[in-house]
Amino acid sequence: MKKSLEDHAARFDELAGEYDESNADEYRACANLVIEHAAPAADEVVLDLGTGTGAIALALAPDATRVVGRDISDGMMERAAEKATEQGLENVAFDYGTFRDPAYDGPVDIVTSNFAMHHLSDTEKREAIAVIAELEPRKFVLGDVMFFGEPDPDEPFYSPAVDDPATVGLLADAFTDVGFSLTAVERVHDQVGVLVAERSPSDSATPTKPAQDE
């Protein structure tokens, strides 16, 4: 991480008031794809990491039984909570939690994250993906700044002073190393994409005894 958690939190606290009006078309396309791929069933729980002002969490709440948002910026989460109240959503809750310590140990079916994990170094991203795998979601939908080609700081979405995006290849390896299969790759821009990682139902089910021949 190129800045400390506290530095990132302070930066987003300052941005919170104007954040929702400040985003580019590619950000919106990425967020829409995350929402589309997450597609929770009515009885499923979603954990949204780096939830910010709740763009993903609030969009998924009407379809899910419960949405848990985690972030390090109180300012961003205060805005998310205000929007939940305005929208009459009572099944969504926001609280402090990081990628590597989401401070959540309940059941989770789907983990989402949009435009947030690129603040972590590649090693930290691998650690975060391993922590997420331990929560045993059936699906993890990651929208973020990620490199499909050569990194280019002159292109939008990537500022080397604060951002540390990974290549698509590194992220794909990190998912498969902890037991996910990559089931979709969406390229929004050469530096923005959405990856969908899933576990087969048998991976998390209690192993059953093989049938005995009579």
Interface ranges with ligand SAM (CB under 6 A): 5, 8-9, 12, 31, 49-52, 55-56, 71-73, 76, 98-99, 114-116, 119-120
What is the rounded CA–CA span in Å between residue 49 and residue 111? Answer: 7
Give the tokens for residue 9. 């939190």
**Phi, psi of 127, rounded to the nearest 5 degrees:** -60, -45
Of 164, 147, 139, the residue nearest 3 (C-alpha): 164
Residue with the two structure tokens 């929004």 = 188
- State whether residue 153 is helix, strand or coil: coil
**Phi, psi of 37, rounded to the nearest 5 degrees:** -75, -30
Give the tokens for residue 64. 């899910």
For residues 182 and 23, is the Cβ–Cβ distance under 8 A?
Answer: no
Would residue 189 be called left, alpha or beta, if left means φ above 0 and alpha means ψ between -120 and 50 degrees?
A: beta
Give the DSSP letter of residue 165: P
- State whether residue 6 is helix, strand or coil: helix
